[in-house]
Chain A
């Protein structure tokens, strides 16, 4: 019998079959099937299927990195919701970096080459950091990307 992933959202319990080749991180990215996932009492996904930071860490990280992310993305206005949306966009459309347990996505625009970087918790998969790194740094710390500065 194929293993099954269980997720709780409000009064609903969603159970879906996990195919043999499907990894847990991929299951977490299936937002159509699972509205919210609980693991050890920590909710990973919000009701609209987005991953989030644990506790109130989102505010702390937004205060630390929001400005540089805004600047790198060429925005003139940026808030916490934008920050979380962009982190989730990187998770959904970026490249998985196994050696850093993170997702990354190249950013265009002016200045030196850079990439958005979203680290995720090794145990439960929620966001641990979202900031901007230089491609030069990532090319060194994440050889699996195959990037050259």
Chain B
């Protein structure tokens, strides 16, 4: 199993320790908002990323992926992940775990593939 790592950092506001942090598992890549952030490229990511204002959760047959929404507003992200934990709700995109800020509906089971839209994905170190 590969532990995801930080592969790129764009500092938005060093004084505020605010950055755009790109995380990868070697196959999937996602760019997150991080504040406060004080890491470096190569840091391992052990904790799940966090969605902010998550919505539009639906079961899908698509494979795990991150994708740009057709109309991108602000930090909006869409991704397809596998349910690996129901309470707290955690999905996995490849080897990248993402915790949701809303509960999963009761009919979703571990192993289900779901598509999720979120206003932002946060990396909280």
Contact = CB atoms under 8 A, between A and B. Distances in A.
Contacts of A136: 50, 101
B95 interface: no
Nearest to A100: B36
Contacts of A128: 13, 15-16, 18
- Contact-residue size bin, chain A (C-beta under 8 Å from the other chain): 20 to 34
A72 B101 CA distance: 15
B43 interface: no
B16 A129 contact: yes
B73 A67 contact: yes
Interface string B1-39: 000000000001101101000000000000001011000
Interface string B106-120: 000000000000011
A134 B74 contact: no
Given A100-B36, A131-B35, A137 B122 contact: yes
Contacts of B12: 60, 64
A64 B36 CA distance: 16
Given A67-B73, A100-B36, A134 B52 contact: yes
Contacts of B15: 119, 121-122, 128
B101 A141 contact: no
Interface of B: 12-13, 15-16, 18, 33, 35-36, 50, 52-54, 73-75, 101-102, 119-120, 122, 124
Contacts of B122: 133-134, 137
A25 interface: no
Interface string A87-105: 0000000000000100000
A76 interface: no
A111 interface: yes
Contacts of B13: 57, 61, 128-129
A112 B89 CA distance: 14
B50 A71 contact: no
A140 interface: yes
